[in-house]
Structure 1
Amino acid sequence: MCTDRDHAPGRRALIVTGAAAALTLGTVRFAGAAQPDGARSTETVRGVLDPGAADFVYLPVEIPRGVNEIRVSYSYERPPQPAGTTGNALDIGLFDQRGTALGGEGFRGWSGGARSEFFVRSDDATPGYLPGVIEPGVWYIALAPYTVAPGGLPYEVRITLGHGGQAAPRTPVYPPERARGRGRAWYRGDLHLHSWYSDGRRTPAEIAALARAAGLDFVNSSEHNTHAAHAHWADAAGDDLLVLLGEEVTTRNGHVLAVGTDPGTFVDWRYRARDNRFGRFARRIRQAGGLVVPAHPHATCIGCNWKFGFGEADAVEVWNGPYTPDDEVALADWDASLAVAARGGGRWTPAVGGSDAHRDPDPVGAPQTVVLADDLTRAAVLDGIRAGRCWIAAGKDVALTLSATGGRGRQAGIGGRLRVGDDTPVTVRAEVAGVPGCTVRLVTDQGVLHTAAVPASGSGTVEWRTTPRNATYVRAEVRHAPSVPGLPGAPAALTNPVFLGG
């Protein structure tokens, strides 16, 4: 049976629960008695969201017994707008009969604005959604108006139920937490990648092939607001490629990477900075064994700029994809935080980079984070990042080492501390390769204090002498020639600091 009815989207409840405001619409109910196997039932809902609509609008759908598939499609009007005026953008997702509570167990998938339809069955689901048994009860289609034009956002949602017995659910298989490593060594990885399980266009297998070609040892699965990809990376992993599992938690006030969480970990995103809920979900990431990494914190797209502060951050992404002015701002902001930590002896936050690759021609592994880890395992890689034993390279051909020595042969490397007296002479040494036409800059809490051109071969060594009194830390930047007068060129490599003194 197929019917097509309008359901009035009248306001049933506007709920403010300490997280983002949520509007719940009237419940959709399917008419008629039990349907025979193979039958399909359809209901259609139409409505208009006004400017200033709640962040999340929930459409309850009563699912009767005997349903083996839920299929949803939606559309909305996107009329052209005057220059400088936002248009309409509407995201979509699904919660099951366990409800929509913040951080609860009801989450069944999210596609944002990447897809106009999706389905869920016990044994399969659209990428971005979680397969599993369809239990009777009230399910919720989540509509999230990202932007609403001044004239409002007219939408239509079409829900189709398939009737019959359910197939046996699949048991998820996750990638191993260990690959064949080289013992304590520098391992290259990409912490920020998207597949077709969110708004990317590549499969995990395609990403893995590109990662291997880019010389990577590990990658992190970071889909927008869903962990649905976790069970689809096992075949792409291997002895030569460690796959970490995570999520890009995409809130209305910035994005944060959950890096290397336990398989199947869901991190909610339905809150703003004013709601004081981020700390709860930062702890959720760490309790699941992962790292909290704010992504592209100074990006200019709507909702991308990071507004939660960095007190919960385990690292921060200062280089996101092709280097842009907002990365330069992120780098300067991070460097200022290093100076504050160095003066006060407080905690500092390491810098990382990631490609944020979505589709062709986005390169995987550009940039890549190079981590000194005890082995190629999830735990060891995360320990290396957490400790700041890492640097960022534009690609696989870029090589760099940075060390500081002094005080009877003591030595420290990236992320470490050379514990010598304030007036002890210290020699800083940077070795680079694969960077023809570049300049090495040694940056301290006092700014750039030493520069040296790299030989035409692209390989060379730079030495500089200082004391902890004159530089509480030193980090290296390898920069291309400037393209804009007065501004530094794009980096080929950036390091975390070596701290000097006690």
Structure 2
Amino acid sequence: MCDDDRTSGPFGRRALLMTGAAAALTVNGVSFAAADDGGGPAQGAARTGEETRKVTGRLPTGAPDYVHLPVEVPHGVREIAVSYTYDRPATPPGTAGNACDIGIFDERGTDLGGRGFRGWSGGARTEFFLRADDATPGYLPGPVNPGTWHVVLGPYTVAPQGLTYEVTITLRHGPRGTPRTPTYPPQRAKGRGRSWYRGDNHLHSVHSDGKRTPAQIAALARAAGLDFLTTTEHNTTAAHSAWDGLWGDDLLILTGEEVTTRNGHVVAMGTDPGVFIDWRYRARDGAFPRFARRIHRAGGLVVPAHPHATCIGCNWKFGYAEADAVEIWNGPFTLDDEVAVAEWDNALVTHAHGRGRFLPGVGHSDAHRDPDVIGLPQTVVLADDLSRDAILDGIRAGRAYLAESSALTLTFTATGPQGQHATIGGRLPVPASTPVTLRLHVTGAPPDSSIRFLTDQGRLFTTPLPTSGTATWHTTPANAAYVRAEVRHPPTAPGAPGPMAAMTNPVFLGRA
């Protein structure tokens, strides 16, 4: 399946491996001379300088998702550096061109979920290095031990003409540096006790395909009025240790990962620092439940991201059996978010009538670079304190609303005739015929916005934003198994609702 210019030596054979997940093609690799005749630095003078090898090859349309290029690394290597190029021929209209990702696994191997992962930059970089004390953003510092390493190519899309690549590997010899001890963010900030906390849990920096540094992101998060954020780089944990000095009493930083598969993306939200979640599988492989369990064991939430995004490989194909919440609003509100909200609302109906789990809705900016706005949108969570556990508990329970900025606040309650009370994510357990009053109070709403109350029967109440900022509606549990609220901008197209400005998770009515 792959034409390669190296056809002899220990890597002269080609193998198509089914690893229990996506297929991986192992191509002819490269071998560097040992440090001395005895194969180890203890039996001869330590080598200095550097050595470089190049490998070229061609992949056809329909190539496996991942191409493994073995690299035999001898003793005495201080640093490994890799660069690559590939061709980008013109393609017919409507046909994808070449796009190829890259990363590296060390001598511990390429097994799915194994320990060999050392970094991934997707298509964001053409070169990287790593050594004991430093690495390119997106890659993990650590020793360059002898053994078989693997450069891994990910041909995301391949043009009809095929994809021709060239990979250059350079080994630099000499004494190893001193490994760094990673510093991870604390899991609690000062906070305000039980309160509503604002956060953005889907963000990218220079450690994947973003253009902002962690310091820039932290400053923008504070300017946006956020109390917490989650670092979620594509397929790498390298940024977990990059926030030293950026947290504080006013800003909690959680660690996570955007697990970017070929059949959709999932935010591993609030996982333990340093825990890597593999992404090299498709829905047909049946591997996702294993890695969802891995996210849960690491203390995180499984949150499918932008489930109806239109980019290749971005929309969600794994189902929601393992999910804890779903990202229904991603960045500025667009048609794919409208579809995600509608699908989520259908799932609420199923749950309200006893046939499925409650999946809370969340919203995040997915900000990468200017002019992406951090905190557009943001998830506002009712939590017992500003800590990882409390924030994740609040999201898991649905005690959250979504807003386009910190200028906008919502208070949404359901009240019974005898003072019974419930708020967002809660339940008002009164008999089916009991009168219930729903109140939404809004501050900071955009001009000319409207309020909508939606139930398992659909939208049952709409009003222009009252001067007081408070809208009231009366119903019963027989008429509405749940009620959720939306604040919308004025319509921008005839017959369509205006873009979302804010929305709540539901309040459930009646006895479960």
Into which bin does the TM-score normalised by the smaller protein fall?
over 0.9
| 1:151 and 2:150 correspond | no
| 1:259 and 2:259 correspond | no
Tell me if the contact between 2:347 and 2:356 (Cα under 8 Å) persists in the aligned partners. Answer: no
1:403 matched to which residue of 2? 413
Match for residue 32 of structure 2 among 30, 47, 66: 30
2:30 match: secondary structure: coil
2:462 matched to which residue of 1? 451
| 1:16 and 2:26 correspond | no
1:53 matched to which residue of 2? 63
Within a 5 Å distance, the mapping from 1:94-493 to structure 2 comes to 94-344=104-354, 346-435=356-445, 436-455=447-466, 460-493=469-502
RMSD: 1.3
One-letter code aligned to 2:473: W
2:201 match: secondary structure: strand
1:256 match: secondary structure: strand
**Alpha-carbon distance between aligned partners in 1 of 2:418 and 2:186, rounded to the nearest angstrom:** 44
Tell me if the contact between 2:487 and 2:502 (Cα under 8 Å) persists in the aligned partners. Answer: yes
Summarize deviations over 1:133-172 as a string: whole Å, max 9, x none. Answer: 1110000000010000011000000000000110110000
One-letter code aligned to 2:83: S
**Alpha-carbon distance between aligned partners in 2 of 1:397 and 1:419, rounded to the nearest angstrom:** 33
Summarize deviations over 1:405-444 as a string: whole Å, max 9, x none. Answer: 1041110000000000000000000000111211000000
1:396 match: secondary structure: coil
Summarize deviations over 1:217-251 as a string: whole Å, max 9, x none. Answer: 00000000000000111321111100010000000
1:61 match: secondary structure: strand
**Alpha-carbon distance between aligned partners in 2 of 1:355 and 1:17, rounded to the nearest angstrom:** 34
Match for residue 96 of structure 2 among 54, 70, 86: 86
Tell me if the contact between 2:34 and 2:75 (Cα under 8 Å) persists in the aligned partners. Answer: no
2:294 match: secondary structure: helix
Give, in angstroms, the shift of residue 38 of structure 1.
Answer: 3.7
**Alpha-carbon distance between aligned partners in 1 of 2:148 and 2:61, rounded to the nearest angstrom:** 28
One-letter code aligned to 2:212: R
Cα distance change of structure 1 residues 76 and 11 upon mapping to structure 2, 3 Å threshold:
farther
**Alpha-carbon distance between aligned partners in 2 of 1:282 and 1:443, rounded to the nearest angstrom:** 31
Taking structure 2 as the reference length, the TM-score comes to 0.95
**Alpha-carbon distance between aligned partners in 1 of 2:69 and 2:246, rounded to the nearest angstrom:** 37
Q: What is the aligned length?
A: 496
**Alpha-carbon distance between aligned partners in 2 of 1:428 and 1:258, rounded to the nearest angstrom:** 34
Of all paired residues, the percent bearing the same amino acid is: 66
Tell me if the contact between 1:176 and 1:234 (Cα under 8 Å) persists in the aligned partners. Answer: no
**Alpha-carbon distance between aligned partners in 2 of 1:257 and 1:398, rounded to the nearest angstrom:** 25
Summarize deviations over 1:375-414 as a string: whole Å, max 9, x none. Answer: 0000000000000000100001001111101041110000
Q: Which moved more, 1:110-119 or 1:402-411?
A: 402-411
1:7 matched to which residue of 2? 6
Summarize deviations over 1:432-475 as a string: whole Å, max 9, x none. Answer: 011121100000000110111114x6x51011000000000000
Summarize deviations over 1:235-281 as a string: whole Å, max 9, x none. Answer: 21111100010000000000000000001010000000000000000
One-letter code aligned to 1:81: T
Summarize deviations over 1:18-71 as a string: whole Å, max 9, x none. Answer: 200011112310136548554100000000001100101000000000000000
One-letter code aligned to 1:447: G
**Alpha-carbon distance between aligned partners in 2 of 1:149 and 1:258, rounded to the nearest angstrom:** 32
Taking structure 1 as the reference length, the TM-score comes to 0.97
**Alpha-carbon distance between aligned partners in 1 of 2:33 and 2:293, rounded to the nearest angstrom:** 44
Cα distance change of structure 1 residues 46 and 177 upon mapping to structure 2, 3 Å threshold:
same
1:344 match: secondary structure: coil
Give, in angstroms, the shift of residue 82 of structure 1.
Answer: 1.6
Tell me if the contact between 1:41 and 1:160 (Cα under 8 Å) persists in the aligned partners. Answer: yes
Give, in angstroms, the shift of residue 368 of structure 1.
Answer: 0.4
**Alpha-carbon distance between aligned partners in 1 of 2:499 and 2:248, rounded to the nearest angstrom:** 34
Summarize deviations over 1:179-231 as a string: whole Å, max 9, x none. Answer: 11100000000011000000001111100000000000000000000000001
Match for residue 499 of structure 1 among 499, 503, 508: 508
**Alpha-carbon distance between aligned partners in 2 of 1:380 and 1:32, rounded to the nearest angstrom:** 53
**Alpha-carbon distance between aligned partners in 2 of 1:466 and 1:111, rounded to the nearest angstrom:** 52
Q: Which moved more, 1:213-222 or 1:404-413?
A: 404-413
Give, in angstroms, the shift of residue 11 of structure 1.
Answer: 5.4
1:341 match: secondary structure: helix
**Alpha-carbon distance between aligned partners in 2 of 1:18 and 1:300, rounded to the nearest angstrom:** 28
One-letter code aligned to 2:92: P
Tell me if the contact between 1:6 and 1:44 (Cα under 8 Å) persists in the aligned partners. Answer: no
**Alpha-carbon distance between aligned partners in 1 of 2:383 and 2:352, rounded to the nearest angstrom:** 24
**Alpha-carbon distance between aligned partners in 2 of 1:487 and 1:442, rounded to the nearest angstrom:** 16
- Structure 1 gap ranges (5+): none
**Alpha-carbon distance between aligned partners in 2 of 1:411 and 1:393, rounded to the nearest angstrom:** 23
**Alpha-carbon distance between aligned partners in 2 of 1:25 and 1:327, rounded to the nearest angstrom:** 41
- Structure 2 gap ranges (5+): 37-44
**Alpha-carbon distance between aligned partners in 2 of 1:501 and 1:10, rounded to the nearest angstrom:** 69
Tell me if the contact between 1:128 and 1:227 (Cα under 8 Å) persists in the aligned partners. Answer: yes
One-letter code aligned to 2:316: W
Q: Which moved more, 1:33-42 or 1:13-22?
A: 33-42
Within a 5 Å distance, the mapping from 1:58-77 to structure 2 comes to 58-77=68-87
